[in-house]
Each structure stands twice: as C-alpha cells, then as structure tokens.
Amino acid sequence: MLSSQGAIARLRSVRLLEPLRQRDFALLTGGSTVSLLGDGFFTVALAWQVYQISNIPTALSVVGVAWTIPVVVLILFGGVFSDRYDRRLLMVGADVLRAAAIGLLGILSVSGVLQLWHVVALIAFVGAGDAFFNPASTAIVPDLLPEKQLANANALQGLLRPMMIRLIGPALGGLTVAAIGPGSAFLVDAGSFLVSGAAVLAIAPRPRREVIAHGVRQTFAEIGEGLAFVTANPWCWATLLSAMFSLLVFIGPVQVLLPYLVKNRLHLGPESLGAIFAVSGVGSIAAALAIGHLGLPRLRITVMYLGWSLGVLLLAGYGLMGALWQALAIGFATAALFQVGQIIWTTLLQQLVPRELLGRVVSLDWLVSTGLVPVSFALTGPVAGALGPGPTMVAAGLIGAILMGGLLVLPGVRAPERAARGTRPDDLQRSLESHGGLDR
C-alpha cells in the first residue's frame, strides 16, 4: 500500500504530467490520444490500400493532392472561426466529418468495392475537417492552462502524438492490414474520431469575444489582422517560409516514395512499413521526454532550425537504403530532430502570439507551411518516373535541408531567444514588446 502511494506521489511530481491536473486539458489529451492511435492505423492502411489498387507512385500522389488541397483552401477560415466561435464545437464538428468520411472508406474497403476515385473523393472531406480542427486544437490549449505549463503541455503532446500515431498505431495497424486488410484499420480510425469528439464536447465552454459582423468583409479583415502580426515578426514569417519551401521539396517524396521503396525495393510488407513508423515514434518520444525533463533550450530558435534542417537532410538516406535496419535508424533520428523543433515552435506561438489572434496565426502557419504540399504530391510521381524513386528521395533531402536552414541568418529571426536571455518566461512577451519584436 505504501509503495503504491509512493509511486503515485512520484508520478504526480513528474513535470511533464503537471498539465493533466487540469480537468479540461486532461479531457482534450485523452480524446486526442485515442484519435491519434486511430490515425496510426490509418497511415499504414491508406498507403497500402492505394498501392493495392494501383502500384505506382502517381496513385498515392493523387490521393495526397486531394487530401491537402482542402486544407490549403479552407485553413484560413478555420483560423477565423477558431477565434470567433466556440473552439470545442468547431473541433467536434470536424471530428464527426472525418469519422463519417473514413468510416465510409472502411465500409467500401471491407465490401471489396473500393476504387481509387472513392479514396480521392472521401479523403477530401478528411482534409476539410483538418482545416477546421487543427487551428482550434492548437489555439484552445492556452485557454485550458496557465502560461507556465504550456511548454510541459506541448512536450506531453509531443510524447503522446508519436507514441500513438507512429509507434503503437502503425505497429498494430500494420499487423491488422497484413492479417485482415486495410478496411478494418479505416473503421478503427473512424471510431477514434468519435471518441475524440465526445471528449472535447465534455470540456467546459469558455467565453468568446463578441463578434458584431459575420460578413465576408469582416472575415477577410480578421484574416488580415493575423497576417499583420505574422509579417511584423521575422521569427514568425521567416520560419513559415522556410517550412513552406522545404516541405515543397521533401514531403511528397517521403509520403509517396517511402511506402513504395519498402514494398518494391526492400520487398517487405505493411508490417515493416508500420515498424518504420513505430521506430520513428520512439525517436519522437525520446525527444519529448528530454524536453519535458530539461525544458526548452535557451537558444530555442537556433536549435529549432538546426534540428529541422538536419532532420530533412537525413531523409535523403531513404533513397540509399538497402535494408530495413537502415530505414529504422533514419526514422528514429529524423523524428527526434523534428520533434524538438515542433515543440519549440508550438510553444513560441502560444507564448508570443496574442490570445485573440492565436487561431488565425496558427491557421496562417498551416497555410504557409503546407500551401505547396499539394504541388509536392503532384510533382513526386512525374519526377520519380524521370529520375527514379531513390535519386528523387536523395535530392529531396539535400535541397530541402538547404531551404529549411537558409532563413535563420535573416535579421530579427532569432529575436525571441535574444530577448529571453536573462528574463523569466512570463516576462518574455513584455521584453519583446519593449524591443519592437511584437506589433499588436
């Protein structure tokens, strides 16, 4: 009895778990964890399902374009609605939409009638749901927690996300797809969205700012307010641009060509693809645990850029791999480096962006950083057909790393880390304001 009480006391003392003491954040985290587990099933099932229908990279490229175009088109409206309306209800609606689309995908697959055009049409609804869910899910966290817990909250989510979507989910999803086909994995993911929606609905509502007008002109004016903040802060717009151009180069090859290379070069099955995702999840978890224990680095902008750049560079190794262990090593290292950068970036946004603008700035983050992703998917098939899948992956890693790190040297990009030297975290925003770093 005493030993169990001591274990509970030690668990409560872990800094990483402190945000879970807040009921509403615990609900958000619980629902998200279940949903991410389902997404891990979906990641493996989608790639394998598409390549069962048509075993060419162009097929998965088309699906990627159909998924990401709705995100690009609708994400700014998702940000405005997130700042204007109840973020909980926006997230619940997006979860229901995605559950319906993926559930129908699973039913068609299990029935044996699924065709590529079905996948393309239904994945577009998933992208539309993402466009409204993602800004709200990031912007709602500061509503649920005090500022001093944001870094720990992002580290915790950085632990749980890869654990579910890359480790446990893909491992179980790969086995499920290998044993009974991708349709069942789709149905698992659909059910997980319903669990997530129920958990978010149980969160206590927060008061929203009064909105006088809802017309088109007002909507674009609100988008402009978010854009004005981004353009006034080099640390923000430079990071978004670097992400946009590097993702243009490497995201399509990774998403499309990695499953193709596993299937056709290594001659392995879906369980091996799931294992690669799973090991990359271990890398992300290790990085999140390190940040949760040690805190954010002092030179946070510099570390963020270096981590992302090196991670993109290592992706070139997928184009040279000749054995599964090599893919596993690359997956572990790249995921760890990406995770460090992502936790830093999310915390910067939540700490430095005015609360009433956060949804719109997050939506601009999604728009700018993913705006060229459909182009990346569209180009991957033809480029791989001309150069070959391996050389395309190598070129993507090399060029993407240069584009990712190139903007770090611009004036003002590292202003937050310079302003933070010698200041407490809760003084950071005031310090930046006094140096002109924030323009409200």
Q: What is the pLDDT of residue 121?
A: 94
Q: How many domains does the chain have?
A: 1
Q: What is the CATH classification number for the domain harbouring 124?
A: 1.20.1250.20
Q: What is the pLDDT of residue 207?
A: 67
Residue 1 located in a structural domain:
no
CA distance 80 to 132: 9
Residue 370 located in a structural domain:
yes
This prediction's pTM: 0.69
Q: What is the 3-state secondary structure (H, E, C) of the chain?
A: CHHHHHHHHHHHHCHHHHHHHCHHHHHHHHHHHHHHHHHHHHHHHHHHHHHHHCCCHHHHHHHHHHHHHHHHHHHHHHHHHHHHCCHHHHHHHHHHHHHHHHHHHHHHHHCCCCCHHHHHHHHHHHHHHHHHHHHHHHHCHHHHCCHHHHHHHHHHHHHHHHHHHHHHHHHHHHHHHHHHCHHHHHHHHHHHHHHHHHHHHCCCCCCCCCCCCCCHHHHHHHHHHHHHHHHHCHHHHHHHHHHHHHHHHHHHHHHHHHHHHHHHCCCCCHHHHHHHHHHHHHHHHHHHHHHHHHCCCCCHHHHHHHHHHHHHHHHHHHHCCCCHHHHHHHHHHHHHHHHHHHHHHHHHHHHHCCHHHHHHHHHHHHHHHHCCHHHHHHHHHHHHHHHCHHHHHHHHHHHHHHHHHHHHHCCCCCHHHHHHCCCCHHHHHHHHHHCCCCCC
Residue 4 located in a structural domain:
no
Digit-coded pLDDT (tens) for 288-312: 888 877 777 888 888 999 999 999 9
Residue holding tokens 């975290």? Answer: 425
What dihedral angle (degrees, nearest 10) is formed by the CA atoms of 56, 60, 62, 66? 170
Residue holding tokens 């999310």? Answer: 346
Q: What is the pLDDT of residue 419?
A: 63
Digit-coded pLDDT (tens) for 338-381: 988 888 888 888 888 887 788 888 888 878 777 777 788 888 88
Residue 209 located in a structural domain:
no
What dihedral angle (degrees, nearest 10) is formed by the CA atoms of 427, 430, 436, 439? 120
Domain residue limits at 39: 20-204+214-434
Q: What is the pLDDT of residue 439?
A: 33
Q: Which residues of the chain have pLDDT under 50?
A: 1-13, 211-213, 422-440
Residue 180 located in a structural domain:
yes
Residue 295 located in a structural domain:
yes
User: Counting every residue, how long is the chain?
Assistant: 440
Q: What is the pLDDT of residue 421?
A: 55
Q: Are 206 and 90 in contact (CB under 8 A)?
A: no
Residue 110 located in a structural domain:
yes
What dihedral angle (degrees, nearest 10) is formed by the CA atoms of 68, 373, 334, 265? 90
Residue 109 located in a structural domain:
yes
